[in-house]
Amino acid sequence: MMMDGVGGTAAVLTRETSFDTARATGINRRDPGRGSETASGCQAAVETTERLGAGDLHLASSLNQMARLCGERGEDGKAEPLLERALAIQEQPLGPAHPHVAITLTDLMYLYRRQGKETAAVAAATRATRILATHARGTLVV
């Protein structure tokens, strides 16, 4: 993203600071005894990043964190639409074959397996594997 002048730089810094603050609030509260605080912190991060732009990669990250929290709390029904939305957001700027997309697909695969949705789990796993294999070509894996 190209910004001109000091005003553009300040806007980007303000945007990054808002996201970082909201995200840290949710992540730093990931303590089993502080479940409701964690959930509200993650929700605050999602709300902050939604104001920054519906297609922002920060929003995808916040949605992914919130989905993981829901999964940890056994709320898979809430996690699924969050992960699917994060995936859709990531695919726009990154493309459908980016490694970050593969990570979200892997998260979806585990979620689908927990829900007993084997066909969807296999599809997500297959797609993630293809993406990662494409990016691993020429890389020595030890």
> Up-side HSE of residue 53: CA atoms within 13 Å toward CB?
11
pTM exceeds cut of 0.75: no
Share of the chain above pLDDT 90, in %: 46
Give the three-state DSSP class for 140: coil
Q: Is residue 61 part of a domain?
A: yes
How many domains are there within the chain?
1
Residue 141 maps to a domain: no
Q: Which domain covers residue 37, as residue numbers?
A: 10-136
Give the pair of three-digit tokens for residue 4. 């001109």
* pLDDT tens track for 3-16: 444 444 334 434 44
Cα separation of 101 and 86, whole Å? Answer: 9
Q: Give me the CATH number covering residue 32.
A: 1.25.40.10
In a domain, 118, yes or no: yes
Summary mean pLDDT of the chain: 75
